[in-house]
Structures are given as C-alpha cells and as structure tokens.
Amino acid sequence: MTNNVADHHPGNSVAEGNHEGDFGCSMVELRNLMELRSAEAVARISDSYGGVQTVCKRLKTSPVEGLSGNPTDLEKRRQVFGQNFIPPKKAKTFLQLVWEALQDVTLIILEIAAIISLGLSFYHPPGGDNELCGQSSGGVEDEGEAQAGWIEGAAILFSVIIVVLVTAFNDWSKEKQFRGLQSRIEQEQKFTVIRKGQVIQIPVAEIVVGDIAQIKYGDLLPADGILIQGNDLKIDESSLTGESDQVKKSLDKDPMLLSGTHVMEGSGRMVVTAVGINSQTGIISTFAPRPV
C-alpha cells in the first residue's frame, strides 16, 4: 500500500484534519505558535511543522516567489485568518473627558475650598438674633462678610468649571485630530512584500497571512511572522515587552518577529503568520479573547 504521508516531516504532530479552509495551519495554531519565544519557538517549529519551509508550504506560499496575488486567494486568506486591521478603541465622550479633568488634585482642593466657603457664608450660629444691643452696630459688617464669602465660593466654583470645560474641550479636540492622523497614516503606510516573484509595496491593511515580507532597518513590522532569511537582524521589542535591549533574530535561536516592533539593524524576509487582532499587538490592544 502506498504511503500517502511520505511528503510530511516525520516529526509533524499537527493533525491535518484540524486545518481551516484548505490551509495546513489554523488561525489558532499560528496564534499559539507566535506566543512562543527563542529556543521553545525553534523547537516547536522544527518538531511540529518540520521547519519554516514547511510552514510556508502549509500556508500555500513560496519563500522565494511569495503569493500569487490572486484576488480569490487573498480574500479567502482574509476570511480564514482575518484582516490586517486593528479596530480603534472607542472614543471617549465629552462627559468622560470632563470627569477625567475633575480628577486633578489642584481642582479637587479648590472645589473643597469653594464648598467650605459657601457653607460658612450661609451658616448662622444659633442665638444670633438675641445678641446684645451693643453689638448691633456690627450686624451690617457681619452681613457684608457673609455676602463676600458667598461671592468668593461661587467665584472659585465658576473658575473650576471654566478650567474643566476648557481642559476637556482641548483633550477632545486633540483626540479627534490624533484619530484623523492615525487613520490617514494607516491608509497611506505601505510595506514591501513579494508576490509573483516581484518585490512590490502594498498598503499594510492588504497584507495577509502567507505573504512573504521583506524587512530592513527602520521598518515598523505591521504583522507577526517567522524569519525565513536574516542578515544581522536586531529588533527593538520594547513596545511589547518593555525591555530596552535589542533582540538578535536568527533561524536557529529566535526567528519570531512581532508586529509593532522596530527593525534596528540588518535585513531579512519573513512569512506572515498573524495579522490584525490575532497578531501580538492586536491581542494587547484589543484584549481579544482566544479563538476556540
């Protein structure tokens, strides 16, 4: 009887029946894979997939030629693995910004002072109407002081309200401008990939799982991927890990490349394995639940 699995790596432990669509890797498998680091990741790629070349084969892409660019194939990849787009967080309302502005310590102190001032201005000690006639001459003066206290308290509260409204409006205006700028950058930013054997630049939103992306010094990685070929590649992963040290990437030590990180030295090629909310940046940004 002919062995139908002869083409598979002997160490392959991923069941063929668990794949999504016609691809050899599911979104869950790839997402779990991209959570691994260093030697653990190298071992998983080798033992479960038979190397990065087999990962490319399962994703029906060529490490050299890249994807064919067929629109039907690209759309199918988007349906199975998702689009390279992270939904922006819900914008804060003006009332939420007002509430945040009210949390300023200085304003809180002024609010307390204004309330105390107003309270004292309206407070009349008991027995005040039975004062001696000799003190009647000071009644007008006391009344004037009470009125002044009321005005001072109201003035403080009015100042606090003005400051809060101005601060909230400025924050709302800045947030609106930032979202507009971010949207324009996302639409205009492009990245280098290989399709049909040709090196082209496409908008980052059009990158799909299986794309072969070229990376070089200065790039901000738009998706997760596994290194296929590297040349003295060093990555700044501080945006994800908080560690300032640059991480050297290589096929035999740490081939995992994460979205949102910066290429500080070298160059290379990677196969895209996760995009959008399924990438490491997307998971952190949206707190997306693990797919089942």
- Quickly list DSSP for the chain: ---TTTTS-TT--S-GGG-STT-SS-HHHHHHHTT--HHHHHHHHHHHHSSHHHHHHHTT-BTTTBB---HHHHHHHHHHH--S--PPPPPPPHHHHHHHHTT-HHHHHHHHHHHHHHHHHH---TTGGG--GGGGGGHHHHHHHHHHHHHHHHHHHHHHHHHHHHHHHHHHHHHHHHHHHHHHHHHH-EEEEEETTEEEEEEGGG--TT-EEEEETT-B--SEEEEEEEEEEEEE-HHHH---S-EEEBTTTB-EE-TT-EEEEEEEEEEEEE-GGGSHHHHHHH-PPPP-
Q: Which pLDDT does position 5 carry in this prediction? A: 34
Alpha-carbon Rg of the chain, whole angstroms?
Answer: 32
Q: Which pLDDT does position 3 carry in this prediction? A: 40
Do 261 and 206 contact (CB within 8 A), yes or no? no
Residues in the chain: 292
Q: pLDDT 10s digit of each residue in the chain, 292 long?
A: 334 333 433 333 333 334 455 788 888 899 889 989 889 999 999 998 899 999 999 999 999 999 998 999 999 999 999 999 887 777 788 888 888 888 888 888 888 888 887 777 766 666 555 544 444 444 555 555 555 667 877 888 888 889 999 998 988 888 777 666 556 656 668 899 999 999 999 999 899 999 999 999 999 999 999 999 999 999 999 888 777 789 999 998 999 999 989 999 999 999 999 999 999 888 887 764 444 4
Instruction: In whole angstroms, give the CA distance from residue 120 to residue 128.
Output: 15
Please give the structure tokens belonging to residue 178.
């930032």
Query: Number of helices (H) and strands (E), helices first, in the chain?
Result: 9, 7
Instruction: In whole angstroms, give the CA distance from residue 217 to residue 228.
Output: 16
* Helical pair 105-122 and 139-188, crossing angle rounded to 10 deg: 150
Q: Which pLDDT does position 146 carry in this prediction? A: 55
